[in-house]
Amino acid sequence: MLPSQNAPQDKQTGFTLVEALIAMLILVVAIVGWMGAQDASVSNRGLSRTMTVATELVQSKMEELAEDPETYCSTTGCEDIEEQTVNDGFEYTLVWSMYREELSNSGVALEHALPLWVIVVEGKWNHRGPKSTGEFRRVVMQ
């Protein structure tokens, strides 16, 4: 008899079940990581947008108050709180105060110096918790 020509093959073709499962696990981890990064990106974009709007509102209020401080405050000091709702649906609170300061030299008021108005404005809003722009200050001579 002749030797059999159907000798066993030493080379395998295809993947084993374990190899396929490991490849799928790596793919799932990569997709979940990518989705987490996208979620953080969207959240940060929303925070950035609300912070920009709040800062613009604060700057606008500061310009309004600085234009003619005595229109808003005829005494030596005053303060107010304003609520504003913007198109994005967020409510912003502007807290502002103004007070006069006299220029002085060693504690003695200078006679012909114009008074200074110190304007302080802060913007507050709620985006996944309370947020604030911090206080912005400006000194105006009248």
Taking only the tens place, the pLDDT of each residue in 65-94 is 999 888 888 777 899 999 998 876 789 999
Q: Is the pTM of this model over 0.85?
A: no
Q: Quick one: pLDDT at residue 93?
A: 94
46 band by pLDDT with thresholds 50, 70 and 90? confident
3 band by pLDDT with thresholds 50, 70 and 90? low
Q: Quick one: pLDDT at residue 141?
A: 81
Contact 69, 119 (CB under 8 A): yes
Q: Is the pLDDT of residue 104 over 70?
A: no
Angle in degrees, CA 78, 83, 84, rounded to 5: 125
Q: Quick one: pLDDT at residue 113?
A: 65
Give Cα separations from 100 to 21, 82, 89, 112, 115 (angstroms): 73, 21, 36, 15, 6
Q: Quick one: pLDDT at residue 72?
A: 85
What's the average model confidence in pLDDT over 41-56? 88
Q: Quick one: pLDDT at residue 45?
A: 87
